[in-house]
Amino acid sequence: MELEADRELATRIVERLQGAGYTAYWVGGCVRDQLMGRKPKDFDVATSAKPEVVLGLFPGAQLVGASFGVVLHGGGIEIATFRSEGNYRDGRRPEEIRYETEAALDATRRDFTINAIFYDPVSNETIDFVGGKSDLEAGVVRAIGDPHVRFGEDHLRLLRAVRFAARFRFALEAKTFAAMTEMASLIVKIAGERLHDEMRRILTGPNLDLAWKHLSESGLMRAMVPEAKAGFRLTSLSGAVSVSLGWAALLEGVEDANPVYRRFRFSEEEKHACADLLANEDRFRTLSQMSLSHLKRFLRRANINDHLELHRATHGETSAYRFASEMVASLGPEILFPAPLIDGRDLIALGLEPGPRFSQILKQVEDAQLEGRIQSKEEALRLAVA
């Protein structure tokens, strides 16, 4: 329902702008997805009206990108003035922005042909100045104009090309891919936050086999993570892949991944999850030798499914994988996370002095509970003072 409401709002915005005498279209991903028979995730509007005109036509809208002429309306619809751009000074931002009245000029400054198609929801007309429709039909990701210029303007487009090719299982057009390989080293100039966000989209998206192919063959992976010696097991991951699992697959064989975590601005949660996956890869070899308490503690990890999938991607469905999978499926929360039989207050009531030993005692009690050696509070208290 929310998507339909956004579609209706985006249509009304175009109607209002056109009624006021301005050119206005949908543009970008919403048009691309619609032409592919997919449901758009959001809607963007491009118009010949300047930002101050847009703000006047839509009271309550907000200017969110003053330097780029972007107005946000209704909490989710971006309305951007047609523009052309001057030279880029840092591989990210143009030195000059010029507002335009022609959609064709706006189309030619965009990244890839499949993202530069316009659609008029009022007349139901598709407007294509760059051959995006034919590239969609052919399944090709092609930079607009000279790919060296497009990638030189914004180096992050090198990774965006990989993401779109993997997401739609498209081929990279020959000249576009050639420019990517020639310019792959420029990717290190991108801020870690932007790199991390783009890699997150790639690693949690579909067709990781194709993503790995393009990352490795273009030289982008080597440029971003020179420490990595492998990473091909990314191609074997299946199902929903978390950011940490995707990175763990890429970082196979890296002795110290901390520089990578810092370079890509991992959150503390992502860093610990990825480090946990890499540090515990060998645990599957000793599952059958673990005590029941250690086994249950391992199987109740929040990211146990990521552990299982990383092992399967590396070694296949081994007996250890099948054993652990069956245990996870059969042991319910009440078995893996039993309610504590005693806590610190009970230890104080026994006359014990609070201190570091409390956690040791409580862990011993929980181990006995997990192994089925004790089942009652009375048994736990006796064990605590033993």
Q: Report d(CA 120, CA 78) in Å as an integer.
A: 16
Instruction: Count CB-CB contacts under 10 A for residue 178.
Output: 14
Taking the CA atoms of residue 369, residue 372, residue 375 and residue 378 in that order, the dihedral angle to the nearest 10 degrees is -70
Rounded to whole angstroms, how far apart are CA atoms 28 and 305? 36
pLDDT value for 364? 96
Predicted local confidence at residue 91, as pLDDT:
60
Q: Give a three-class secondary structure readout of the chain.
A: CHHHHHHHHHHHHHHHHHHCCCCEEEECHHHHHHHCCCCCCCCEEEECCCHHHHHHHCCCCEEEEHHHCEEEECCCEEEEECEEECCECCCCCECCEEECCCHHHHHHCCCEHHHCCEEECCCCEEECCCCHHHHHHHCEECECCCHHHHHHHCCCHHHHHHHHHHHHCCEECHHHHHHHHHHHHHHHHCCHHHHHHHHHHHHCCCCHHHHHHHHHHHCHHHHHCCCCCCCHHHHHCCCCCCHHHHHHHHCCCCCCCHHHHHHCCCCHHHHHHHHHHHHCHHHHHHHHHCCHHHHHHHHCCCCHHHHHHHHHHHHCCCHHHHHHHHHHHHCCHHHHCCCCCCCHHHHHHCCCCCCCHHHHHHHHHHHHHHCCCCCCHHHHHHHHCC
Mean pLDDT by 10 residues, the chain (386 residues): 79 97 97 96 95 94 82 89 79 76 96 98 98 98 97 96 98 98 96 96 96 96 90 91 96 92 95 95 90 94 95 94 93 91 94 91 95 95 91
Measure the CA–CA gap between 38 and 40, rounded to whole angstroms. Answer: 6
pLDDT at 4: 74
Dihedral sign (CA 187, 188, 190, 194) = positive
According to the model, what pLDDT value does residue 45 have? 97
Domains defined for the chain, CATH in brackets: 2-134 (3.30.460.10), 139-279 (1.10.3090.10), 281-336 (no CATH), 344-384 (no CATH)
Residues 6+ apart with CB under 8 A from 213: 235
22-31 in b/e burial notation, b at 16+ Cβ within 10 A?
A: bbbbbbbbbb
Question: Side by side, which strands form the sheet with 62-65?
Answer: 62-65, 70-73, 77-81, 44-47, 24-27, 118-120, 125-127
